[in-house]
Structure 1
Amino acid sequence: MPAGLRQVVPGIPGTPLPHGILGASCTTVIDVTEDQIHQLNGVEWLALGCAPARDWPDPCEDPQPGDPTEKEFARLTTEAAAPITVYAGVECSAPGFPYEEAREQALAALTLGEQHAIEAGFMRTKLSVEAVDLTPPEGPLNIAQGIAALEGCLAESYGGQGVLHIPAGVAALLGCCNVVREDPATGGLYTLAGNCAVIGAGYSFLNVGPGGIPAEPGAAWLYVTGPVVVRRGPVDVIPDRSRASASVNTRNNDRRVLAERTVVVGTTCTICAVQVMACP
């Protein structure tokens, strides 16, 4: 074996998980333009399709027990989504670590990890805050029972296709009962009912339920929502090239560079949650 110093080679690149929240098959991802930049302060809208459609008996037929006597009208509701900032920062001794290399490292870290950060932020600020807990008093369900409960909850409140939010740590269990299948046309994961599944490392990392309650040991929290829209702002590198010297802390001669962006994640109608056992 030759002796001498190790040779420096390029870093090993990575690929974001294909079924995360930024996967095109499950979510709508919008990179906001300059004229839409105010959307990054948060957005609101009138809910579409959250009001139920009902059946009405034939007036020519004799009334039956339980027949409605008056048509119901649902009051429209306003929904909203708040901004989340996701970031990646790098630090190293300034000698031998030029600004451009630090910038490249920060951007690479954000590109690979932003799904994780968005999923964790969405779980912390939206899913766990608004979800209805379907976990029975007896404790966590198996994964097939849990997804069945979530899909039933969604179907009762929303007539369209929804999104399951599954921690990456239990994703392998989806194959045990043939719970989801990959659509060859889109590459997305879908249940028999037609709902799409997001497999999120950020959901595994946080793994909290309604009220921020952590999952029991050996268990995981699953959620279901209506459609999901992710609005993303541009990436900011701090400091920028014009202030590259400001990235060095003169007290310890360390260089720090940060890459960050603001995202706004919105969903609609009911959010349901259930705790499942993280074993077959």
Structure 2
Amino acid sequence: MPLVTPIPGTPLPHGILNACTTVEDVEDTHELLGVEWLALGCCPVREWRDPCAIDDSPGDESPGEPPVKEFCRPEVEHAAPITLYAGAECGALGWSYDEAVAHAQATMELGEQQALEAAWWSRRLTADAVDLTPEAGPVSVAQGVAALEGCLAESYGGRGVLHVPAGAAALLGCCNLLREDPETGSLRTLAGNCAVIGAGYSAENTGPGGFPAPPGTAWLYITGPVHIRRGPLDTIPDRNASVNIRTNDRRVLVERTYVVGTTCTVCAILVEVCP
């Protein structure tokens, strides 16, 4: 049979490497080893009532200690590196080095978003999320989104990111939970939070602690903003070292390191995906 051009593909348009997140291409290898920062926006802003301006006589009772302003020490947050790779192998006689590199790079381009979603879900989202699932069990998707947005609003004053497995995404349209932002193309809730629809999330679909979702259910998460540092695409090995002289097979590997960070509280809830 004749050899033809491979069937091309396109990553899902609302995945983790799209409009809902900030993706920064970095060259500094030190940042790709992991980063840390002082959390911003997790400390509350409080109202101050001047006791001298309040006309509230305590009578014969002692007024007690005068009110004082509270200070919040910001937490140190961090993000660890995630390295993804794609490898290509074929007989050296039928495959040039450049063809092998091109095939591996195309594989990475199509699959890196899904792989990054799965890795970050299992490493970060499930690690220390607050589980909002009631004792009665999973809730409807609309109830789940409402609970998640309430949880985020109580701990963070800005826009956040809703993380949804692709297998549950269609249910978000049943109640008009999402709308497309005409300027950015992102999906947003009525509260203004962005939504990542992840194929890698569907592959994992685990709750806090890594426990799989029961049949007919899915886990949804919400976080603060998501910032992704992305390193260069490295090709390994060079042209001459790519051939195993014992088997006459050519192997080429491409890999890339990412550092994915978010801030403040991560909340999770189990929702029903079957009526």
TM over 0.5: yes
Counterparts in 2 of 1:1-280, with a 5 A limit? 6-23=1-18, 25-33=19-27, 36-57=28-49, 59=51, 60-62=53-55, 69-240=67-238, 244-279=239-274
Under a length normalisation based on structure 1, what TM-score does the superposition of the two structures give? Answer: 0.90
Cα distance, 1:146 vs. partner?
0.8
Corresponding residue SS for 1:37: coil
Corresponding residue SS for 2:213: coil
Question: Over residues 26-64 of structure 1, what are the superposed CA-to-partner deviations in whole Å (9 max), with x where a residue is unaligned?
Answer: 11100003xx22100100111111101122336433459
Cα distance, 1:246 vs. partner?
2.7
Contact 1:210 1:273 in 2 (8 A): yes
AA aligned opposite 1:84: I
Mapped partners of 1:268, 1:94: distance in 2: 48
Corresponding residue SS for 1:212: coil
AA aligned opposite 2:31: Q
Corresponding residue SS for 1:264: strand
Under a length normalisation based on structure 2, what TM-score does the superposition of the two structures give? Answer: 0.91
In 2 relative to 1, CA 63–70 (structure 1 residues): closer, same or farther, beyond 3 Å? farther
| 2:61 corresponding residue in structure 1 | none
Corresponding residue SS for 1:75: coil
Cα distance, 1:268 vs. partner?
0.5
Question: Over residues 224-249 of structure 1, what are the superposed CA-to-partner deviations in whole Å (9 max), with x where a residue is unaligned?
Answer: 11011000000011112xxx243233
Mapped partners of 1:196, 1:236: distance in 2: 31
AA aligned opposite 1:85: T
Mapped partners of 2:243, 2:143: distance in 1: 54
Contact 1:86 1:260 in 2 (8 A): yes
Contact 1:169 1:204 in 2 (8 A): yes
AA aligned opposite 2:128: E
Cα distance, 1:118 vs. partner?
1.0
Corresponding residue SS for 2:124: helix
Mapped partners of 1:172, 1:228: distance in 2: 23
Question: Over residues 209-267 of structure 1, what are the superposed CA-to-partner deviations in whole Å (9 max), with x where a residue is unaligned?
Answer: 11111111121111111011000000011112xxx243233444332221110000010
Q: CA RMSD in A?
A: 1.8
Q: Which ranges in structure 1 are unaligned for 5 or more consecutive residues? A: 1-5
Cα distance, 1:145 vs. partner?
0.8
AA aligned opposite 2:26: V
AA aligned opposite 1:61: I
Identical residues among aligned pairs (%): 67
Contact 1:173 1:279 in 2 (8 A): no
Question: Over residues 2-48 of structure 1, what are the superposed CA-to-partner deviations in whole Å (9 max), with x where a residue is unaligned?
Answer: xxxx332211222221111110x211100003xx2210010011111
Corresponding residue SS for 1:137: coil
